[in-house]
Amino acid sequence: MEYNFLGRTGLKVSQLCLGTMNFGPETSEADAYQIMDSALENGVNFFDTANVYGRKKGEGVTENIIGRWFAQGGGRREKVVIATKVYGTMGDWPNENRLSALNIKRAVEGSLRRMQTDHIDLYQMHHIDRNTPWDEIWQAMEVLVTQGKVLYVGSSNFAAWHIVQANEAAKRRNFLGLVSEQSLYNLLERTIELEVVPACEAYGVGIIPWSPLSQILGGALQKANEGRRASEDQQKKIEKYRPQLERWEKFCAELGEAPAAVALAWLLHNKVVTAPIIGPRTLDQFTGSLRAVEIKLTPEQLKTIDDIFPGPGGTAPEAYAW
């Protein structure tokens, strides 16, 4: 496993980030333990979760699973860079969501308790909160950093101008500000190349792509031919992109690589990307993803991928103007 610095920080994280959203709803606790143990055995030190993961409002199911795994000891907590999120609704009262100072304080205490740890390495705002001023947000985050409960702050699902606005506000307070942005980014969803990627590069913000396989980039056609059932949404998506998927899976077969691994490797060729999030349901899915860090695509291969899945045409404004 190779490691990248998280944005402009001195923190080293593995080139793949273990996403835990399936832990609880799709993956049993015992299987989740196996996946996390295997992650450490294979050098994956970067885990991502959120207080709302688990599909049971207010319970923090996934964070609790991680906490019980940490509690087993053996250096588990010490080896992991743990990232979680704040914003989602954790209760029925009006201040149990979003990014008010009150909710940030309550949410961080809840995440620390559930994960049985005294600090969160990367605390991410799960979405932009247009109703809370940056001075309030940064003051709340500064308190947590001073208390040692949070080390770094990141964002998720921010537009480029949100990243600029946030970091300029942090700069005025002599605060480090955002060091990472977790964005939807994959071969089918390349919109962030217009403005988010350039903004992150300019501000030293590492990109952590979520949904790197977009449900269907991991060999959907081959799986269908093998008789595996896809959800109705996946089936619609497959039909929408069938010509591209046929070219894609043929290209990957010629490379002798699994489509999922190539899709992840493509993301890693972007210098602004810190680590794509892999969200395995099973141990086999996790171990299959590890091959991605070993795949080095040539310029010609990258061009072929661009031909199959064209991006927006570069960065703004040149992508659509002059």
Catalytic residues, which ones?
A: 53
Q: Which residue has the tokens 């080390």?
A: 151
Alpha carbon distance 188, 266 (integer Å): 12
User: DSSP character for 68?
Assistant: H
Q: Which residue has the tokens 């954790």?
A: 90
- Both ends of the chain: CA-CA distance in Å? 41
Tell whether the torsion through CA atoms of 147, 141, 116 and 284 is positive or negative.
Answer: negative
SS3 label, residue 47 = strand
Rg (CA), the chain: 20
Long-range contact set of residues 195-202: C-beta below 8 Å, sequence gap at least 24: 195/159, 195/160, 195/161, 195/315, 195/316, 196/158, 196/159, 196/160, 196/163, 197/270, 197/272, 197/315, 198/160, 198/315, 198/316, 199/160, 199/161, 199/163, 199/164, 200/7, 200/163, 200/272, 201/271, 201/272
Bridge partners (DSSP) of residue 27 are: 23
Token pair, residue 171, equals 């700069």
Alpha carbon distance 263, 216 (integer Å): 11
Closest among 92, 83, 33 to 57, alpha carbons compared: 92
